[in-house]
Structure 1
Amino acid sequence: MDAGDTSFGTATAVSSLTSSKLNSPMIMSRASSSSALTSAISIPGQTMNLHVVNSNGSEQNQLNLLPSKGDTGSEALKLAIICVGLPATGKSYITKKLQRYLNWMQYNTKIFNVGNTRRQKNAKPSGYPVQGPTLDRTSHDANFFDHSNKDSFHQREQWARETLDDLIQFLLVEQGNVGIFDATNTTKARRSWIIETITKRTEGAVKILFLESICTDQELIEKNIRLKLSGPDYKDMDRDLALNDFRNRLKNYQAVYETIDEEEELENEKYDIQYVKIMNAGKKVVSYNISGYLSSQCVFFLLNFNLSDRQIWLTVNGESEFNLANRKGGDSKLTKRGEQFARALPKFICKKRQEFKLRHLNKEYVNDEFSFHTKPQLEQEFNIWTSNLKRTLQTASYFPQEKDGGDFHFKSFRMLNDLGCGSLDSITEEEFRTKYVDEYRSQMAEKLTYRYPGLGGESYLDVISRLRPMIVELERLRDNVLIISHRVITRVLLCYFMNLNKEMLTELDVQHGYIYCIEPKPYGLDLKIWQYDEMTDDFYEVDEIELMKKKRKRVSISIGSNFRPIFKKTVSPDSSISSSEYSSSSEEEEDGMRRRGPNVYRGTDGIEPESYEFSKMHSDTASEDLDTVIMDERSPADQDIEHQVDEILKNEKLVGLLREKLQNLAL
């Protein structure tokens, strides 16, 4: 329960999360305060704001899983992060990682970059799930950043005001939780103006955290400078001219740079200012006056990332018996097809592991500004992490063990287990839709917050909460790792690394037979995706941008007294169609519903189930029996057979083999 919520009287409240009674014999009224609110813990999906009113003898509950507009408790989730530091010290890199982490934890976070305001009015971030194209923008040479140039100084201050106005608007009006002001803010005067502006405009409801990045490592600075040359200000310039201009720009900032010191602490003591200094990209961290849940989470995260070149591999277990039967959850073994994928996986990973080592020995790579380090890392270990469930352990069992000469380090984690289905574990998807209609409707309406009933039932927000230590460990880890888990877990991890929105947390299309490789880079990360080919018993690379746009296909449902389901064929979308045009299926049905290329690994038998479409009937003839289904033109069996034939005909190689077989039979 969040501290500082509206006052309580003597009352008994019933929590809709646990259905347990909270008896409160005597709780004194207390007015809410800004300081109490900003120091309260509030975790989406794990805590709630509970208001009890019993002046007329009645009880009233108000449950908030996510911050909502007009909710007084959401004031506990307001933080302005103000960057401080010279150019090329890693400010933008740090803030992007922080934004990704906070957004993934469901705190609405946005970066407001003054440089973007300068380059292009009303600049907007890329809509691509991975690095998108660079837009043409207006650039300025080093003289523009000379503080003795009064005209340019006033213009830059105006852009800073506009950008800060947007940040305050985001926090106060647009339901934002964390606004990050990404600029140099190198002088005490600029920082004092920021403090006074935010405090006055928000009436003290928004906490301020200064984030200063300091870099004394000359090799790292040189790499950052050269990386800047591929940015929007210099992308069309001669490399030598661009390098000289940026060095002059850096000198202009160094001439007026003032670090945060004890004198500034005393000057702003009345504002309860807090700050954290990060030196050489996390090698040393100094914090001051950190208070509040969000601020503490930010500092904790910043203590746990590194600049090591490494690979993070993600994949789903091989097809299991429950996958084949379209059943939820369970702890079943792999099928023959799942074992085939599991046997092929070690060969592929060993091959890519060797390629990664050789790439680090390449002289061009050593001098590449798009990598972190100048020295190759030859002693990296390779970890294999699984859940505690049989299907992931069995998938990992084909990797060579230490006794067989293998050098993989194995570990299983309960936090990587599949989403818990509670009392509905092991039921089929059809049973879920037809026998538990209310639960199914709730899941379709609230995909992110829906929690399966019964002991062990979870929501996506519960999964995010238990995966937080895993994310921190992945950020801290300097070695390579392969995570063999489940579709929900893989989807949630991918959404973290790719900084995808809330919708994609539940809707990103993740299937069996795919391997995702993530390589952290100074500009963000590289993503590559491979898909397993059963016929060649090998993997081939696929288009990561198109795949990361794809959404799951779901069975949409809207059941009322005047509605009854009609089976109707849903045409599989072409890969070129926008993801927004896709219909939305349950996890266990996706294998059969997915449109695939030739010889692609399938999680089930490849049959595409029909989707429900609901037509309104006259109330006199409407049936309440959900088992009564009107068939649309053709039976599902006929539709399935036709679909299978269509898929076979798309595979020219398979058609050729069948033709040869038929000719041999005829002879």
Structure 2
Amino acid sequence: MWDHVTRAKDSEKSIESTPRSTSAGGHATPSFSAFNAVIKSSFSGTSSAEVSPSKPNLEKILRQPVNFRDVVITTTQSSISGGLNSPTKSVEIDLHASTSVGNLAEVDSLGSLYSEQPQYASVQRSKMVIIMVGLPGRGKTFVCNKLKCYLNWLGHVTGHFNVGNYRRNQKLGDLTQDASFFCHTNGAGLELRQKALDSALDDMMRWLNTGSGQVAIFDATNTTASRRQLLRDKLHGRCQYLFIESICNDMETLERNYMNKLMYSPDYAGVNVEEALRDFKARIQAYEDVYEPITDRSFHYIKLIDMVTGRGYMDINRISGYIPGKLVFFLMQVCRAGLGNARKIWLTRHGESEYNVLKLIGGDSNISGEGEKYATALPKVLEARLPQGEATPLQVWTSTLKRTIQTAQHLPFAKLRWKALDEIDAGVCDGMTYEDIAEKMPEEFAARKSDKLGYRYPSGESYMDVIQRLEPVIIEIERQKDSVCIVAHQAILRVIYGYFMAVSPEEIPRLSIPLHTLIELTPMPDGQMSVQMLPVDINADPSTLLENLASNPSPLPVLAS
């Protein structure tokens, strides 16, 4: 229980002698000595009449904005071993360790108050570093790319710092980066690898401290306790941090990961597959010789253990706070689908609607004649794009609006309707044209044009609202092992495409998502997506429809004005 609140080194000063502080907004606020004195009087049995009229009462203080800078919350509790009459123990927690945090709600927005931090350390609680741990071929880069997409999409500016890229960009002289380069007895290799780590770490901290960066992902093996302690020491007192260790013991999964690594790693570009696999396994052995899994329970960490096999589990230690909690849930879903499933994600707008013809926004209109042509052609196009070989289950997701349901009506697959996939709510502008809005609501039109991401239609939604609304849909797509076709609306598909293709939130509202076009996303082993745009010629003869589709790919979505 919190027994009393004091201001550090000033708890005994009188109310009259304590200057009033000024908040960030310029408002005068009572000091916490005054606050403490009033609280003491209230708990000591002093009546309100006994308090000096010159002293502010508790109600007045609480109604004013309070500057929490320099505030320390102190709790006292009796020693259990010494009995109730023993001297009390006092534990102090620095509640405002960083001046960059404006209020209590933001203090722990990224994580818990770490007990190992020194009192009054200048810690930037709005910054976090995620440190990857694990042997090569364990899916670390996959996890990094997924986390980067997810956090950036939610509005938390996130950077990915891959130490391997720094290593590859170094001038090595006569050294080659084969398996022997990674041996712990190779002094020259150790020196260059340490140099790469230092460069990546310096760039990461510079990025966090000088820009708008909020979360940094430090992508390296970090397989020894000494390396992790070094990173911990460098970050200690400067920002929050947590470790994510990826462990895989399933040989079938590892062999698949190894082959994927050889296909996409710059280290083995142009190298014979058999030779590359032999060298890569030797490199892994060099790391295994010194590998020490995280066992120190004083660390904040998430362990992913055989998660992609469906028989694995997560070990979560000392994780709390908004973003760390979201990361745990997100990783549970992403790792369920795994890295090696042959699946596709298709995105398509509904066929042309009656409102599209009239250039009206919103509404729940039917599809037009042209839209019906697209709905008729879509099954043949989609079936031709299914992965060949094994039978691949496919789900079709639509919104609850008629134009998407009608577009998907001929698709011979299981269908699911999502209210979350409904078009952005235009509020009072529903059923208007953009020309109408410009004429009748010029201020709203100008506000939307200047900030399409943050602008909210009167009584409607903004793109930021849509991003939050679609988060459960994104999570469900990520955890699917089957292919999915999403028939939805322009704003909705902009947001979904922006997530998978790592488009910055500011650019999402300007993505061009044309009608009668199938967008095909293919998950890659490194967690990124390949994309192909497939415009459908709705007036083509059915016998030549697929030929036209293959010979006339469309460019990727561009930013519209």
SS at match of 1:511: coil
SS at match of 1:314: strand
CA–CA distance in 2 between the matches of 1:381 and 1:238?
Answer: 35
Find the counterpart in structure 1 of residue 483 from structure 2: 480
1:33 aligned to which of 92, 96, 117: 96
Paired residues for 1:352-363 under 5 Å: 352-353=385-386, 356=387, 359-361=388-390
Q: Percent identical across equivalent pairs?
A: 36
Closer/same/farther in 2, CA of residues 542 and 441 from structure 1, 3 Å limit: farther
Task: Indicate whether 1:226 and 2:226 are aligned.
Answer: no
Find the counterpart in structure 2 of residue 334 from structure 1: 367
Find the counterpart in structure 1 of residue 463 from structure 2: 460
Paired residues for 1:647-662 under 5 Å: none
Task: Indicate whether 1:284 and 2:313 are aligned.
Answer: yes
Structure 1 position 89, deviation (Å): 0.8
Task: Indicate whether 1:325 and 2:374 are aligned.
Answer: no
Structure 1 position 548, deviation (Å): 2.0
Task: Indicate whether 1:259 and 2:293 are aligned.
Answer: yes
2:444 aligned to which of 433, 439, 448: 439
Find the counterpart in structure 1 of residue 132 from structure 2: 83
Task: Indicate whether 1:491 and 2:494 are aligned.
Answer: yes
List per-residue Cα deviations over 1:433-491 (Å, max 9, x = no partner): 222211111111112111111x2x11111111100000000001122221110011111
1:520 aligned to which of 493, 503, 523: 523
Structure 1 position 338, deviation (Å): 0.9
Find the counterpart in structure 1 of residue 398 from structure 2: 386
- Structure 1 letter corresponding to 2:555: L
CA–CA distance in 2 between the matches of 1:517 and 1:186?
Answer: 37
List per-residue Cα deviations over 1:95-133 (Å, max 9, x = no partner): 1111111111121111101110011159xxxxxxxxxxx
CA–CA distance in 2 between the matches of 1:38 and 1:343?
Answer: 55
Find the counterpart in structure 1 of residue 213 from structure 2: 176
CA–CA distance in 2 between the matches of 1:360 and 1:193?
Answer: 49
- Structure 2 letter corresponding to 1:497: F
List per-residue Cα deviations over 1:506-540 (Å, max 9, x = no partner): 12111110011222231333322211113215354
CA–CA distance in 2 between the matches of 1:229 and 1:443?
Answer: 47
Find the counterpart in structure 2 of residue 449 from structure 1: 454
- Structure 2 letter corresponding to 1:116: N
* Consecutive unaligned residues in structure 1, runs of 5 or more: 12-23, 43-73, 123-137, 362-377, 401-407, 553-583, 585-667
Find the counterpart in structure 2 of residue 619 from structure 1: none
Structure 1 position 496, deviation (Å): 1.1
- Structure 2 letter corresponding to 1:487: Q
- Structure 2 letter corresponding to 1:482: C
CA–CA distance in 2 between the matches of 1:442 and 1:480?
Answer: 39
CA–CA distance in 2 between the matches of 1:298 and 1:493?
Answer: 19
Structure 1 position 382, deviation (Å): 2.2
- Structure 2 letter corresponding to 1:90: G
Q: Is the 8 A contact 2:148 2:160 kept in 1?
A: yes
Find the counterpart in structure 1 of residue 164 from structure 2: 115
- Structure 2 letter corresponding to 1:382: L
Task: Indicate whether 1:274 and 2:300 are aligned.
Answer: yes
Closer/same/farther in 2, CA of residues 545 and 247 from structure 1, 3 Å limit: farther
Task: Indicate whether 1:240 and 2:274 are aligned.
Answer: yes
2:538 aligned to which of 529, 534, 550: 534
- Structure 2 letter corresponding to 1:147: H
CA–CA distance in 1 between the matches of 2:176 and 2:525?
Answer: 22
SS at match of 1:160: helix
* Consecutive unaligned residues in structure 2, runs of 5 or more: 1-22, 31-61, 70-94, 99-103, 112-122
Paired residues for 1:10-29 under 5 Å: 25=63, 29=67
Task: Indicate whether 1:298 and 2:306 are aligned.
Answer: no
Structure 1 position 218, deviation (Å): 0.8
CA–CA distance in 1 between the matches of 2:107 and 2:435?
Answer: 46
Q: Is the 8 A contact 2:350 2:407 kept in 1?
A: yes
TM-score by length of 1: 0.64
Structure 1 position 300, deviation (Å): 1.1
Paired residues for 1:551-566 under 5 Å: 551-552=559-560
Structure 1 position 210, deviation (Å): 0.0
List per-residue Cα deviations over 1:531-588 (Å, max 9, x = no partner): 1113215354479997225222xxxxxxxxxxxxxxxxxxxxxxxxxxxxxxx1xxxx
- Structure 2 letter corresponding to 1:98: L
CA–CA distance in 1 between the matches of 2:97 and 2:521?
Answer: 41
Task: Indicate whether 1:511 and 2:514 are aligned.
Answer: yes
Structure 1 position 92, deviation (Å): 0.7
Find the counterpart in structure 2 of residue 347 from structure 1: 380
Closer/same/farther in 2, CA of residues 242 and 381 from structure 1, 3 Å limit: closer
Task: Indicate whether 1:398 and 2:410 are aligned.
Answer: yes
SS at match of 2:500: helix
Closer/same/farther in 2, CA of residues 544 and 184 from structure 1, 3 Å limit: farther
Q: Is the 8 A contact 2:533 2:554 kept in 1?
A: no
Q: Is the 8 A contact 1:529 1:543 kept in 2?
A: no
Q: Is the 8 A contact 1:491 1:505 kept in 2?
A: yes
List per-residue Cα deviations over 1:144-179 (Å, max 9, x = no partner): 111112222122112111101111111111211110
CA–CA distance in 1 between the matches of 2:109 and 2:28?
Answer: 21
Q: Is the 8 A contact 2:350 2:489 kept in 1?
A: yes
TM-score by length of 2: 0.75
Find the counterpart in structure 2 of residue 164 from structure 1: 201
Q: Is the 8 A contact 2:532 2:553 kept in 1?
A: no
Q: Is the 8 A contact 2:319 2:325 kept in 1?
A: yes
Once structures 1 and 2 are overlaid, which stretch shifts more, 288-297 or 523-532? 523-532
